[in-house]
Amino acid sequence: MTDQMRTAQPTFDQVPETGQPSGGLSIDFSADTGAVPMAAAATPIAFAPEPATAPGGPGGAASGADRTEAKVVIIGSGPAGLTAAIYAARAGLEPIVLAGSAPGGQLMITSDVENYPGFPDGIQGPELMALFRAQAERFGSRIIDVDVERVDFGSRPFRLWARGVEYRAQAVIIATGASALWLGLESETRLRGRGVSACATCDGFFFRDKEIAVVGGGDTALEEATFLTRFASKVHLLHRRDTFRGSRIMVQRTLENPKIEVHYNTVVEEVLGDTKVEGLRLRDTVTGQERVMPVEGLFIAIGHRPNTDIFRGWLEIDEKGYLRVEGETGSQIEGVFIAGDVHDHRYRQAVTAAGDGCKAAIDAERWLEAQGVVTASTATAW
């Protein structure tokens, strides 16, 4: 796919929990949830040798394996968090990454990723995140698969608690991401990556000349339905109410598009198919009547939930629940930086999140230098 699904949904119970990063990239991402199997045919990546193994360089992870204090703590382990870890570690900041009990971000529920640069044949989402993680650890990042339960940004060092352990940091990078909202159906979960997606930009290409459905009634659903007409032969837009919540101009464009058929007062009761999407069982919310609609794809466009709850009361959050950024990656608290989908509700792509992580790490390094904590080593245009 791209950032979100594909032909073979990865499972989380096929590799013993003792797996470690290795040349085969079969990696145990979480002490809580088990490991994610990597594709057997993955081509190993040969890293260029580094001339030294100073703190923060290759081999640095061996020391301080139990440390709970760091110059930088990164919360989150998707593309933004792990890119920040790579840059911070190479700058000698020896970051701690609190990765979450289900680490890896949205790409962990993505099979084929075809729009991330450097992989002309595509790559499995979990495999891509394994490479991110291995690279971050190679340069000395300490990655711990635990959920942060609360924070105290009242003074430095900043304090964070995860599974009963207190961590302290001179700077924090928040990269907790945003989770797509789903319908909550067992069949929907089972067929994610097999025709069910929450990202039209990521996966629309795979439904060329196919009949598909989109669920939702706001601007996100209207925009995704319109976008998908570039590929699909027909798009069925399913909305549970009799009027849309989207903007007037988007509603007008949708209704005037000959490739979109709108179904009001309609909800999905079940996604049909054993190994891929073959149809939907729908229910009319007014009459209660049920029917079957043959489609080959289902896009859920009912919104995203930013993972920002633990920061309420400390950082400014907008009306949609996303963190507000000051400047490029800053927040309302000096020393606390923000990267990725936890603030970005426009692009929501792995490559833009990775770029954000790079910027946040460089900004954190420069800020720590200004505080006299480190001497900056990353060259930038300024």
- Cα–Cα distance between 169 and 179 in angstroms, integer? 26
Q: Kindly state the helix (H) or strand (E) to which residue 266 belongs, with its residue range.
A: strand 266-272
pLDDT, tens digit (0-9, with 9 covering 90-100), for 278-298 = 999 999 999 999 999 999 999
- Cα–Cα distance between 308 and 315 in angstroms, integer? 9
Question: Does 24 score more than 70 pLDDT?
Answer: no
Which of 300, 326, 352 is at the close of a domain? 300
Question: Does 258 score more than 60 pLDDT?
Answer: yes
Bridge partners (DSSP) of residue 75 are 98, 174
Asked if residue 136 is part of any domain, the answer here is yes
Do 360 and 288 have their domain in common?
no
Average pLDDT, the chain: 85
Instruction: Judge contact between 250 and 275, C-beta under 8 A.
Output: no
Which domain, by its residues, includes 169?
A: 3-179+304-370
Do 26 and 137 have their domain in common?
yes
- Identify the active-site residue in 3, 112, 145, 202: 202
How many alpha carbons lie under 13 Å from residue 3 in its C-beta half-sphere?
20
Do 73 and 207 have their domain in common?
no
Do 156 and 70 have their domain in common?
yes
Asked if residue 327 is part of any domain, the answer here is yes
Do 236 and 111 have their domain in common?
no
pLDDT, tens digit (0-9, with 9 covering 90-100), for 290-325 = 999 999 999 999 988 999 999 999 999 999 999 999
Do 37 and 166 have their domain in common?
yes
- Identify the active-site residue in 145, 199, 358, 363: 199
Query: Closest Cα to residue 360, out of 199, 178, 202, 176?
Result: 176
Asked if residue 98 is part of any domain, the answer here is yes
What does the pLDDT read at residue 186?
97
Which strands form 260-263's sheet, in the order they lie side by side? 196-197, 297-300, 211-215, 234-238, 260-263
Question: Does 332 score more than 50 pLDDT?
Answer: yes
Which amino acid is it at 92? G
Asked if residue 382 is part of any domain, the answer here is no
Return the percentage of the chain with pLDDT > 90, whole number.
Answer: 70
More confident residue, 40 or 338: 338
pLDDT, tens digit (0-9, with 9 covering 90-100), for 75-122 = 999 999 999 999 999 999 999 999 998 888 888 877 678 899 999 999
Do 101 and 172 have their domain in common?
yes
Which of 249, 269, 300 is at the close of a domain? 300
Question: Does 140 score more than 70 pLDDT?
Answer: yes
Axis crossing angle, helix 79-90 with helix 125-138, rounded to the nearest 10: 20
In the predicted model, what is the mean pLDDT of residues 1-26? 40
Asked if residue 376 is part of any domain, the answer here is no
Question: Does 3 score more than 70 pLDDT?
Answer: no
- Cα–Cα distance between 142 and 306 in angstroms, integer? 25
Instruction: Judge contact between 70 and 167, C-beta under 8 A.
Output: yes
Is 199 marked active-site? yes
In the predicted model, what is the mean pLDDT of residues 32-49? 38
Do 283 and 311 have their domain in common?
no
Do 290 and 236 have their domain in common?
yes
Asked if residue 378 is part of any domain, the answer here is no
What does the pLDDT read at residue 350?
93
What does the pLDDT read at residue 65?
67
What does the pLDDT read at residue 54?
38
Do 225 and 285 have their domain in common?
yes
Which of 281, 300, 319 is at the close of a domain? 300
Q: How many C-beta atoms surround the C-beta of residue 65 within 10 A?
A: 7
Is 309 marked active-site? no
pLDDT, tens digit (0-9, with 9 covering 90-100), for 161-215 = 999 999 999 999 999 999 889 999 999 999 998 999 998 888 999 999 999 999 9
Domain CATH for 44: 3.50.50.60
What does the pLDDT read at residue 111?
66
pTM of the model: 0.70
Asked if residue 381 is part of any domain, the answer here is no
- Cα–Cα distance between 53 and 63 in angstroms, integer? 11
Do 31 and 143 have their domain in common?
yes
Q: How many C-beta atoms surround the C-beta of residue 2 within 10 A?
A: 26
Asked if residue 377 is part of any domain, the answer here is no
pLDDT, tens digit (0-9, with 9 covering 90-100), for 345-371 = 888 899 999 999 999 999 999 999 999
- Cα–Cα distance between 149 and 171 in angstroms, integer? 18
Q: 376 pLDDT band (50/70/90 cuts)?
A: low
- Identify the active-site residue in 203, 341, 344, 356: 203
What does the pLDDT read at residue 377?
65
Query: Closest Cα to residue 171, out of 154, 155, 158?
Result: 158
Do 115 and 19 have their domain in common?
yes
- Cα–Cα distance between 35 and 99 in angstroms, integer? 14
Q: How many domains is the chain partitioned into structurally?
A: 2
What does the pLDDT read at residue 104?
86
